[in-house]
Structure 1
Amino acid sequence: MTTKPSIQWLTDLTKFAVNRLPAHSDHLYFESMKEATTSDSMALRHDLNGSWKFHYAVNAANRPEKFYELDFQCAGWGDISVPGHIQLQGYGAPQYVNTMYPWDGHNDIRPPEIPIDKNQVGSYVKHFHLPENMKNGKRVHISFQGVESAFYVWVNGEFIGYSEDSFTPAEFDLTPYLVDGENKLAVEVFQRSTGSWLEDQDFWRFSGIFRDVYLYTVPEIHVYDVHVRTKLSPSYDSGTLEADLTFLSPAPSGTKVVAELYDAKGHEVARGNAKASDDEKWTLSIPAEGPKLWSAEHPYLYTLYVQVYNESGSLVEVIPQKVGFRKFELKDKIMYLNGERIVFKGVNRHEFNCRTGRTITKEDMLWDIKTLKQNNINAVRTSHYPNQSYWYELCDEYGVYVIDEMNLETHGSWQKMGAVEPSWNVPGNKPEWQDIVMDRAISMVERDKNHPSILIWSCGNESYAGEVILNVSKYFKSADPSRLVHYEGVFYDREYNDTSDIESRMYAKPADIEEYLTNDPDKPYISCEYMHAMGNSVGGMYKYTDLEQKYPMYQGGFIWDYMDQTLVKKDRYGQEFQAFGGDFGDRPTDYHFCGNGIVYANRVVTPKMQEVKFLYQNLKLDVGQDRVKVRNDNLFIDTSHYHLEYTLYLDGKVFYSGTTEVAVAPQSEGEVQFDWPADVMGAPGEYCVHVAFTLKEDTACAKVKHEVAFGQHIFNESIEDVVTPTSATGNGNMRVVHGDVNIGVHGSDFSILFSKQVGSLISIKYGGKEMIEIPPAPLFWRATTDNDRGFSQGFHSGCWYTASLARKCVGVDVEEESGHVTVAFTYRLSINNDIKVKIAYSVKLDGSITVKSSYHGAAADLPQMPIFAISFKVSADYDQLDWYAMGPEENYSDRSMGARLGTFKNTVKDNLASYIMPQESGNRTGVRRVNLTNMEGQGIKISSVNKPVECNFSPYTAFELENANHHYELPNIHYTVVTIAGKQMGVGGDDSWGAPVHDEHLIKSNEDMEFEFVIQRI
C-alpha cells in the first residue's frame, strides 16, 4: 500500500481500483451455529454509519488537501449523515438530467475528461475505536457499499486505496494501520470521475457515501467467497447442489468443511463434505432428491449451512446461505423456468426515497416488495445499476424475478436529442475502456451470483453497442452459464447481435413487436422498457399484454417505471411539495421527466396501478350471467389458496353474494356455475356479476381477503334498465317567465334561470340554495397530460383550447310543452364556421333538468378533439362524491380494463391525482350517476341518459391546471368544477415524447356527436 494517491486518477482509465480487495459473494458468516440460526446481523461487523465530520468544496482547488493527516483539526467542520447524499444535506444542490451529461453546455469536454471547475468534493472524517472482537492482531477490512462516484481512503494518515463504480461495494484492508486507541478514517469523495461517463442514467445526480459503511473481521479460517449452483434433472424431480468455496488465505492442514442443507421448516434434508481442489479453493456437491422448486409463485428456499472446522476440530465459521432450486433456460427460442414458459410482468425500479434520494432503508424496500406482490408484478429490472444486497434477499424470499443490471449507461455519448450519433460513443470498440467496464460487470456478478431471484444478467442500459460490451456478455456466459444475458443496445448495431440472448427493445409499439414476432424471429422478445408511465399514462397497456397469449416468443415486459423520482422541497411559504428537475436551480435539467412512476415518490400507489394490477393478474376470469370461466396462467400453483367470491349487484347495490371453492391447476382452465336463487332475478334494472379471487389467509405480503384477480359481467344494460326516466310530474304547476334578458322556470321549491345575454343556464336553486356559480359552457380542451405534451397536443389540437374559450351564442330557442320547458342555446366557434354546438336544457315539473349537447361538425376539417363535454362550477362547499360508475380509481377509455362497475365515494379534492405536474386527472368512464353534495348531504345528482357518460369533478378548471407547473401554483379552492363528457380521448402511454393515443381512443372532430344527462336535486 505504498502507492501515492493522485488526483489525476479521476481521468485515468487505468485507475479505477487501487488496493481494492477482490469482489466476492455477499454472504454472511458467524462463529457459531447458534448465531447463524438466530441472528440477522453479524457480530464480526462494526457499523460506521452515523454522523461524520464533513467539509464541502465546489471543486478540487478549494478542498482541504491534507485533511487526512493525523494533526489536521476538523473539529470545527460541519456534520453529515452517512449513508446519505451530499446534495440532500445542505451542501450544493441536486441536479436532474436524463440523457444529456450534467455538464452539457458548461464544459466542452469529451471522455475521459471531467469538469475541473465544478467537480464537488466531500471530505469526510470519522474517528472510531476498534471493538474488542477486532483487536489482538485480527485482520480488519472496511466495506463501502456505495459511494458516488470516486473516492480516496486514508486511515491514521496512511493512504489505503481508491475506487470508482458507485453501485457495488469497495473494500480495503486496514489491518496494518490500525491502533488500539482512536483511529482516524478520512474519505475524499469526488462527484465527477472517469466513471461519470459510464453513469449517465436517467436520475438525479448526487454524490457522497450513500450506502452503508462498516468494518469487518474474519475468523482464523475464512471462506471469502461462496458460489452456489443448483442443477436439476430433465424431469425436475431431482437435483444437485454444487458450491465453490474460496478461502481468504490457504486453509491450514486439517481443515474440514461440512455442509448441511435444511428445508424451510428447519429439517435437515442432505449433507456433504467439501473437498479441496487447491489450498484456497474447495468444492462441494450434495444430491437432492425431490427438491421443492423456487419460483416467484412459490419462492421456496432451503438454507445451506457451511461449517468450517480447524485442525483441532473446533468450529470456527458458519455460513448460512439461502438456496433456491430452479432452472432457467432457453429452449426452442423460448425462455423457460423449471420447464414452463415464463412471462415477465415487470417494472423497472430505481432505488429512491423522496427525502433521502437513493439512500433507502430496509423498510422502504420491504414496502416496495409487498407493493409489487400485491399488484401482481412478478419481475424487476434493476434500472440501471446493482441494488443493495437486501433487495435481492427480499426478491429471493418473497418471489420476484430479477434482471440484474450492471452500472453502465452512456446515453449522452451517442444519442443527441433523440438522434443516434455515436461519433464519440463510449465504451464502443475502444479497448482502453474494456477494463473499467469489465470491472463493473465482475463486481456485480461476484456479489450477486447466489441469489435465485436473478434470472438474467444485463450488460447495462443505453450505451449503444460494440466489442467492449460484447466482451462483457461473453464474461457473463463464461462465469455463470445458468443465466441468460440481456442487452437492448444491439438494436442499434446488429453487428453485435450476439451480445444479448433476448431480443429486447424499448418503447416499440405493439405493431412493431408483432412485426418482429411474425417474421421468423431467432430470439424471444421482451420489452425491457414499455408503457412510459409519466404522469397520467399507461393507456393502451392491454395492447401489449394481449400479445402474451398470442405469441409464445413474446415473454412480457417491464414498465418504465416503478416510482416517481421527486424530492421533497419547501416553497417560499414553507410548505412542502414534490420537486422535480429545475426546482433546485439546477441547469441543465430535464425538468419533470423524472415523474414516470406507477407509485408516487412518497410511496403512495398512483391510480395507474389499478390497470397494471388487472392486466398482470395470472387468474383470468371470463364472467357470464350464471357462470365464470377461470384460466389459471400461473406456472406452478393452483387456485387452492383462494376463495372465489361472487356478488350480484342491482343498480350498484348488493343483491346477492356467496363464496365457493374452485380447483384450477396451473396452466389450466375451469368453470363454476352460479345457481342463483329463483327470486334473485327479475327486478328491472342493471345487473352486474362481480367475481373475485381473494386470499384465504394472511400471506407475507397481503392480508386475508386481499383481492388477487377479478372479473365482471354486466347485463340488461339498456337505458330503460340503467336509468329510470325522471318523472314529468311534480307538485303544483311550473311557471315560465320571459324577461328581457332572462328566462325563468319556477316550480315547487325550485327556480331556474337562463340568460340570453350570457347564452347559458345561469342559476339552479333547489330549496333556495344556488347550485350554479359559473354557468355551463361547452368544453373541448382538457389540461394536457405529460403524454399530450410529448405528442405536442397543444400544437396539433390547440384550436380546441381556443374553441373552449372563444365561442359565440348565436341562437336561443324556447319550447314550452306540457310537463316541461326546453331552452336551447346554439353556439358558433371561431375556429371553424362549419361547426355548430347546441346545448338544450329541458326542465320538468319536479325541477330536474335533462341536458343534451349536440355537436355538428361533419363538414369541418380539424384535428382530433381532446374532449367533448360541458363544464360548470358550483360552490366548493359541494365536495362529497358518491359514484355509480367505473372505478374506484380514475379511468379513461384506454385505461379502464382494470376499473370495475360499482358504487364508490371520495371527495373532490382527493379526486385530483398527485402527478408531479398538474394535468388532467380524476376522470371516470361508465358513469351511470354521481351525487355531488355538501357535508349535510344536500346537492345534485347527475345521471346518464341512453348511455353512460364520463365525469370529472375537480377543484380546478382545465385552464388553471394547464397553466400551472406545480400544484402550489394552483389557486386557493373556491369552486367544484363539474365536467360531464360524452367522450374524452385516452391518455396513451406507448411513450411520452411523440407517441399518439391509439386511433380507437381518439375523438374525430369531423363526426357528429351528442350526449345527454340529467341534473336533479338531492
Structure 2
Amino acid sequence: MKKIFLLLVLASFWANVVAGTSIKTLMDMPHFYPVRERLFTQSLNGTWKIKIIKGLEIPTDYHRWKDNDYDDKKWDNIIVPGNWETQGLKFPEYGKDLEPYTGLYRTTFKYNPTWEKKHVILRFDGIYYGYKCFINGNKVGEWGSATNLCQFNITPFLHKNKENVLCVQVNTRPMGWLFDTNDCWSLGGITRDVELFTLDDVYLEDVTFTSNITPNLDALIHIRVNTGRFKQENNDYKLNVSLTDTQNNHVLNFSQNIKKDSSVFNFRGEIKNPQLWTAETPNLYRLEVCVVDAKGYVVQRSNENVGIRDIHIDGFNLKINHKPVLLRGVCLNEIDPKLGRALTYKERRQQLEMIKAANINFIRTAHYPFNHEFYELCDEMGFYVCNEIPFGSRGAAYLKQEEYLPNLKARADATLRRDKNHPSVIIWSLGNENPYTPIVEELLKFVKEKDPSRPRGLPQKVSDFMNFASNPSENVDVIMGHYLSDTRIDQAIKMTKKPIIHTEYAHSLGLAFGDFEAKYDRILREEKVIGGSIWCWSDQTIMTLGDTQKNHILKSVWADSLRFIDSYGRSEVPEGKSEIWKEAADGIVYGDGYPQEDYFQVRKVYSPIVVKTKKLNGKLGVANDFNIEVENRFDFISLNGYKIKWKICNVKKIVERGEVWLHIPPRKYATIPLRSTLPDSVDFNDLMLCLEITDSFEKAVYEKNIPILLDNKKDYYSFIKSLPRAQLIQSEISKTKAYIQTENSSFSISNKGIVTITDSKRKVIIKSPLFLRVGRPLTITLDYLTQKDKYFWEPYILEPIVEKFKGRKTQNGIQVKLYCRWHRNGQKKQYVSGIVNISVSDNGVIQSDYCLTPSSGADGYFLECGLTLKLDSIFDTFRWLGEGPFTYTPGKTMYNKRNCWALHKNDLRFIGNRGLVDIAVATDKQRGIGLWSDNGNIGVENINGSIYISQNAIVTGYGSKFTAPQKRKTMDNLKEIKGTLLLFIDDPMYPISFWESIFKPYQTIVPEQPYMKSYGW
C-alpha cells in the first residue's frame, strides 16, 4: 500500500510541477506559423528506437539514455508515427484506466548544409500524452496536450559535423492527462508527423484570413499577418501577399515593408462576385504569404487554401453566406484497428469519401482536433466541421481548479492558431460533456476574443444541458445537447433563446440504431434545431489477440482465428479499474470501415434529395399520368444536372422506362409528371415505379420503388392456394400422427409437434418441431441494456409441449389441430399457449394458422414472436419479394426498397426480420420451399448451419444504447399472438409455373463474409 501511495505522489508531483510549468509558459513562447510545403520540410518519420517503461521513473540502467553515444541496439523498433499498442509494445488500455507509462524514443538525423545561417524548427504534430524533447542531450522543451502541435527552435543544440540525436521522453501523466482520455482506447506514442523546417531572421508568426459576405454576395477580405524576429537588426524585409483563384488569377495583391518596430500587418480588399465556399460548393482560393529579403529572395513562403465564406447566427438559424444550413452530421473519432491514431492520408481520404457518400455534410471531431490533413480534405471535399478544443469529461474535476486554466487556454490557443483559416471549421466546441464552471466561462471568453468570427458551444450531457439551456453564457452562440428524449427536447425548445445542435444523438451500439429515423425527423420539424451529429462513424477498435475476449463472445469482430477487432466492452474488470460496460462498438461502420446496415440507413435518411410520394394509382390498358413529388433539401445548389431514371416493373419484368431532368431550386419541392401507357394485363396485378436519381456524373444518389395500385389488388395468396392438384397417394390420421403423401411431396406431423416434409424423391427438406420464436440472439445492445432491464426470454426459440392433438381427413387433404404450450426456461408459470391449425391440400400447400396468448404469470417482452420451423441444412439461400435487402423493424425501414432479393445463409446481413414480403422461397441448388406470411413478416436466422424460418407476429425495434427496442409490449398488453404461414414445394420434377416470373432461375448467391465472426444479427 505504501508503494502505491508513493507512486501516486510521484506521478502527481511530476504532472503538476514539471508538465504544468511547460504548458503555462508555452503561451508566452515564440510562435511559428507552420511550414507544410514538402520542399521546405524534412520528415523525421520512420523507424525509431524505443524503450517502454511501466511507471514514470526512469530506472538507473537507462540514466544515460539521452547521451549521443548511448547503445540502443537492444531496444525495440517502432514506426513513427504510430502507437505503442498497435505495434505490440504495450497491452492496450481503455479510458482513464490508462496506467502510468514512459516511452523513451531515440532517432538521429544529419545537419543539412542549407540550414546554415537559418533557424531550425522541430515540430511535433501530436504525441499521446505528454513529452520532453532533447537534442544531443540538451532539453529543448516540453508539452502536454496530446492532439495539439508544438514547435521548438533547436538551432543552438545542433551538431554540424556529426549526427544529431533526437530523444523524446513520452509519458502518460502530463498535467491534465485525463482531458485526453475519453470513452475509447487510450493509446500512447508519437501519433502524428515529426518534421524539421527552417526560418530566416524575420519569419511568419501567424496568418489570419477572414471574409465577410455582403448581402449582394460580394466579399470583404481581411488578412492579418504577424511577423517575428530572431534578431532585432533593422534588415530590409518585405511582406508579399496574394490571393488567387483556381485559374491562378490574382484577385488580390498586397505588399508592405517589414519595419523593425512593426510586427502586425493588416490587409483589406474587396472581391466582387467571388466563388463562395460551402460544403455543397467547396470553392477554394490560394493564399500565398511571402517574406522577401533585401536581395529579393523569398526566404519563407506560406501557401494554403482558403475559402471565402462567412458564418453567423441569425435568430435560430445558422447561416453560411446569409443562407440557413441544416447540419446532417456524424461524430468522428481518429482511430483505426491497425494504425491506431496514426491514420495515413490514404486512409483518411477514403474515410471521408465514404462519409460523403452517406450524405453527411457535418463532422464533429470527437473529442479533439484531428491531424491537419483532415481539415485540408474537408476544405477540398466540402464538409462543415465542429472542431473540438480537447478537454474530455474524464478530466471534469480539473475544471474547478484554477491552476488548470492556463493549461486549457494553451490547448484552445494551439487549436485556434492551427485551424482558424480552414473554411470547413464553422464551430468551435469546447470540451465534451463537462460541467459549466467559472473556469469554462473564462475559456469561452478567451476563445471568443481569439476568434469572434465563429459560433461557440459547450457539448453537454442531459442534466447539465437542461440547466444551461435556460440560462446560457453570453459567450455561447449555440446550445449543444446529448441524447435528449422527446420530453427534454420539448422543454429545451420552449426555454432556449439560441439554436440547438444535437452534438450527439441516436447512439448506435452494435447494429442497434433504432431511434435515428425518428430523431432526425424531429430535427427536420423543429425550427430551433439546426442539426445534429449521430454517435458515431466507426466502431472504435484496435486489433488484438482473441484471448483477451474469451469471456466476451458478443463483443466486436473476429478478423480470423487469431486476431480480434476489439471494441473493449468489458463486463468485468480487474480490481482498481473503472471502465466497465464502456462499449466502443458504436459506429455505423465496423472498425475497419466496412459498412454496417446502419451506414445505408444514414445514407437514405440524410439524403438531400427525397421522393415524398408513397404510392400511385394506375389503370391498365390506358395512358397514366403519374405525379412524383421531389424535395431538394440542399441549402445552396439546385438539381440542375440531376435526373430521374425511371422504370415501371412487373416484378422483375420491365414494362417501360424513361428519364427526366430535374430543375429544382434549393430547399424547394417540385411535382415531376411521368406519363406511361400501362399494358392490358400484368402478372399478379403487381406494378411498381422504380426510381433512381443520378447526379451530373451519372452516380446514383437516391433510389425509391413506389407501388402502383391497380383496380385489382396484387394477390399472391390466391396464386399459391390455386396451385394445381397432385395425385393423392396416401393420407393417414392416428392418435400419434397425421400424414399425407402426393406424387410431389409428403407431409406429416406427430403428436409431439414434429413436422416432417419431403420432396418427390422422399428426401427430407424439413424435420422440425413447431418452434416458437420469442426473441433474438443475445446482442451487444441486449447484453448492455438488460443489466437494468431483464426483458427478454431465454432461450429465444422454444420447443412445444403438445397437450392435445386432433386430426381429420378432408376432401382434398388433411387438417390437424394442436393445443400447445411453450415454456420459458425453468419457469413453470411463464409460458405461451394456444392452438395451431394446420391444413394440407393435395396441391402441396401447407397452411399453418396459430392463435396464442401468454400465461397470466408471464413477464418480460417478446422482441420477435412467431411460429418457427427449421429447414434442412442443404438449403442455403433465402429469396424474397418485398422490402430489402436489410432487416425491417420499427425504426429501421427507410433504407429498404421493394424488389426481389436474395441472401446466402452465411451472409453478414442474413439474420433478421424481412418486412412487407409478398412471397418468398428458401432454396438449395434446385429445390425451393415457398413461403407466404399474412402480415408480410418473415424472420430468418442461420443456427448451426440450418435456416430457421419464422412467421413473426411480433417485431420490435433494435433500440439503441440508451433506448429500449421500439414497439415492445408488456405481457399484460398482449391479448393474442396470431399469424398465418403458407409453405409449398418447388420440386424440379414438379416446378411451380409462376416462379419463372419472380425467382427463377435460382442463381448462385455468394455470401458477403468480410469477417470470420461478427456481432451482426
TM-score between both structures, scaled by the size of structure 1: 0.86
For 1:121, the equivalent position in structure 2 comes to 102
For 1:1016, the equivalent position in structure 2 comes to 984
One-letter code aligned to 1:281: V
Query: For 1:458, what is the secondary structure of its paired residue?
Result: strand
One-letter code aligned to 1:193: P
Provide the C-alpha distance between the structure 2 equivalents of 1:75 and 1:453, rounded to a whole number of angstroms. Answer: 45
Tell me which of 525, 542, 550 is aligned to 2:500: 525
1:674-718 deviation line (CA, Å, top 9, x unaligned) = 101242776542322232321231xxxxxx322246463453595
Kept after mapping to 1: 8 A contact 2:770/2:800: no
Provide the C-alpha distance between the structure 2 equivalents of 1:175 and 1:723, rounded to a whole number of angstroms. Answer: 88
For 1:939, the equivalent position in structure 2 comes to 928
Q: How many residues align?
A: 935
Kept after mapping to 2: 8 A contact 1:866/1:1003: no
Indicate how the Cα distance of structure 1 residues 949 and 399 shifts in structure 2: closer, same or farther if over 3 A, else same: same
Provide the C-alpha distance between the structure 2 equivalents of 1:373 and 1:1001, rounded to a whole number of angstroms. Answer: 38
One-letter code aligned to 1:658: G
Tell me which of 56, 67, 70 is aligned to 2:68: 70
Kept after mapping to 2: 8 A contact 1:201/1:409: yes
Provide the C-alpha distance between the structure 2 equivalents of 1:794 and 1:435, rounded to a whole number of angstroms. Answer: 42
One-letter code aligned to 2:457: H
Residue 974, structure 1, aligned to residue 945, structure 2: yes
How far residue 361 of structure 1 moved from its aligned partner, in angstroms, is 1.1
Kept after mapping to 2: 8 A contact 1:465/1:493: no
For 1:59, the equivalent position in structure 2 comes to 55
Provide the C-alpha distance between the structure 2 equivalents of 1:295 and 1:251, rounded to a whole number of angstroms. Answer: 44
Provide the C-alpha distance between the structure 1 equivalents of 2:523 and 2:796, rounded to a whole number of angstroms. Answer: 42
How far residue 362 of structure 1 moved from its aligned partner, in angstroms, is 0.9
Query: For 1:617, what is the secondary structure of its paired residue?
Result: coil
Kept after mapping to 1: 8 A contact 2:22/2:141: no
Provide the C-alpha distance between the structure 1 equivalents of 2:537 and 2:521, rounded to a whole number of angstroms. Answer: 21
How far residue 440 of structure 1 moved from its aligned partner, in angstroms, is 0.6
Provide the C-alpha distance between the structure 1 equivalents of 2:11 and 2:55, rounded to a whole number of angstroms. Answer: 15
One-letter code aligned to 1:503: I
Matches within 5 A, 1:373-412: 373-411=356-394
Provide the C-alpha distance between the structure 1 equivalents of 2:682 and 2:918, rounded to a whole number of angstroms. Answer: 20
For 2:803, the equivalent position in structure 1 comes to 810
Indicate how the Cα distance of structure 1 residues 7 and 179 shifts in structure 2: closer, same or farther if over 3 A, else same: farther
Matches within 5 A, 1:122-141: 122-134=103-115, 136-141=116-121
One-letter code aligned to 1:1007: K
Matches within 5 A, 1:691-840: 691-697=691-697, 704-708=698-702, 710=704, 712-713=706-707, 715-716=709-710, 718=713, 720=715, 724-727=719-722, 729-738=724-733, 741-756=736-751, 758-792=752-786, 795-798=789-792, 800-801=793-794, 804-805=797-798, 807-830=800-823, 832=829, 835-840=832-837
Provide the C-alpha distance between the structure 2 equivalents of 1:58 and 1:784, rounded to a whole number of angstroms. Answer: 38
Tell me which of 849, 870, 878 is aligned to 1:852: 849
Provide the C-alpha distance between the structure 2 equivalents of 1:582 and 1:542, rounded to a whole number of angstroms. Answer: 26
Provide the C-alpha distance between the structure 2 equivalents of 1:322 and 1:453, rounded to a whole number of angstroms. Answer: 11
Residue 865, structure 1, aligned to residue 862, structure 2: yes
For 2:938, the equivalent position in structure 1 comes to 950
Query: For 2:597, what is the secondary structure of its paired residue?
Result: coil
Kept after mapping to 2: 8 A contact 1:343/1:548: no
Matches within 5 A, 1:104-503: 118-134=99-115, 136-180=116-160, 181-219=162-200, 221-249=202-230, 253-274=235-256, 278-411=261-394, 413=396, 425-428=397-400, 430-489=401-460, 490-491=464-465, 494=468, 497-498=473-474, 500-503=476-479
Provide the C-alpha distance between the structure 2 equivalents of 1:713 and 1:482, rounded to a whole number of angstroms. Answer: 50
For 1:964, the equivalent position in structure 2 comes to none
One-letter code aligned to 1:175: T
TM-score between both structures, scaled by the size of structure 2: 0.87
Matches within 5 A, 1:539-558: 539-558=514-533
Query: For 2:440, what is the secondary structure of its paired residue?
Result: helix
How far residue 449 of structure 1 moved from its aligned partner, in angstroms, is 0.4
Provide the C-alpha distance between the structure 1 equivalents of 2:854 and 2:969, rounded to a whole number of angstroms. Answer: 19
Indicate how the Cα distance of structure 1 residues 455 and 1001 shifts in structure 2: closer, same or farther if over 3 A, else same: farther
Tell me which of 478, 484, 491 is aligned to 1:508: 484
1:793-845 deviation line (CA, Å, top 9, x unaligned) = 894434x3368436521122223222232223221244658953333332222
Query: For 1:15, what is the secondary structure of its paired residue?
Result: helix
Kept after mapping to 2: 8 A contact 1:985/1:1002: no
One-letter code aligned to 1:580: S
Matches within 5 A, 1:614-693: 614-623=604-613, 624-625=615-616, 626-651=626-651, 653-679=653-679, 684-693=684-693
Task: Tell me the C-alpha RMSD between the 2 structures.
Answer: 2.9
How far residue 158 of structure 1 moved from its aligned partner, in angstroms, is 1.0
One-letter code aligned to 2:80: V
Kept after mapping to 2: 8 A contact 1:385/1:407: yes
Query: For 2:97, what is the secondary structure of its paired residue?
Result: coil
1:283-324 deviation line (CA, Å, top 9, x unaligned) = 222211101211111111111222332223333333222121
Query: For 2:65, what is the secondary structure of its paired residue?
Result: coil
Kept after mapping to 1: 8 A contact 2:862/2:968: no
Residue 577, structure 1, aligned to residue 564, structure 2: yes
How far residue 412 of structure 1 moved from its aligned partner, in angstroms, is 6.6
How far residue 568 of structure 1 moved from its aligned partner, in angstroms, is 2.0
Kept after mapping to 1: 8 A contact 2:865/2:952: yes
Provide the C-alpha distance between the structure 1 equivalents of 2:738 and 2:709, rounded to a whole number of angstroms. Answer: 42
For 1:917, the equivalent position in structure 2 comes to none
Provide the C-alpha distance between the structure 1 equivalents of 2:788 and 2:526, rounded to a whole number of angstroms. Answer: 37
Kept after mapping to 2: 8 A contact 1:231/1:327: yes
How far residue 387 of structure 1 moved from its aligned partner, in angstroms, is 0.3
Query: For 1:608, what is the secondary structure of its paired residue?
Result: helix
How far residue 209 of structure 1 moved from its aligned partner, in angstroms, is 0.9
Query: For 1:597, what is the secondary structure of its paired residue?
Result: coil
Query: For 1:297, what is the secondary structure of its paired residue?
Result: coil
Kept after mapping to 1: 8 A contact 2:218/2:270: no
Runs of 5+ unmatched residues, structure 1: 30-40, 104-117, 414-424, 698-703, 914-920, 957-972
Tell me which of 590, 593, 610 is aligned to 1:603: 593
How far residue 251 of structure 1 moved from its aligned partner, in angstroms, is 9.3
For 1:969, the equivalent position in structure 2 comes to none
For 2:1012, the equivalent position in structure 1 comes to none
1:427-476 deviation line (CA, Å, top 9, x unaligned) = 13x21111111111111001110000011001110221201111111111
Which has the higher relative contact order, 1 or 2, with Cα contacts under 8 A spaced 6 or more apart?
A: 1
Identity %: 21
One-letter code aligned to 1:575: L
Indicate how the Cα distance of structure 1 residues 980 and 794 shifts in structure 2: closer, same or farther if over 3 A, else same: farther
Provide the C-alpha distance between the structure 1 equivalents of 2:158 and 2:73, rounded to a whole number of angstroms. Answer: 21
Provide the C-alpha distance between the structure 2 equivalents of 1:58 and 1:668, rounded to a whole number of angstroms. Answer: 61
For 2:40, the equivalent position in structure 1 comes to 44
Query: For 1:514, what is the secondary structure of its paired residue?
Result: helix
Runs of 5+ unmatched residues, structure 2: 1-9, 548-559, 617-625, 987-1017
Kept after mapping to 2: 8 A contact 1:95/1:586: no
How far residue 520 of structure 1 moved from its aligned partner, in angstroms, is 4.8
1:24-47 deviation line (CA, Å, top 9, x unaligned) = 687546xxxxxxxxxxx5222111
Indicate how the Cα distance of structure 1 residues 709 and 848 shifts in structure 2: closer, same or farther if over 3 A, else same: closer
Tell me whether 52-61 or 174-183 shows the greater mean CA deviation.
Answer: 52-61
One-letter code aligned to 1:882: R
One-letter code aligned to 2:594: V
Query: For 2:772, what is the secondary structure of its paired residue?
Result: strand
Provide the C-alpha distance between the structure 1 equivalents of 2:778 and 2:853, rounded to a whole number of angstroms. Answer: 24
Query: For 1:909, what is the secondary structure of its paired residue?
Result: coil
Query: For 2:920, what is the secondary structure of its paired residue?
Result: strand
Kept after mapping to 2: 8 A contact 1:25/1:448: no
Provide the C-alpha distance between the structure 2 equivalents of 1:368 and 1:1004, rounded to a whole number of angstroms. Answer: 48
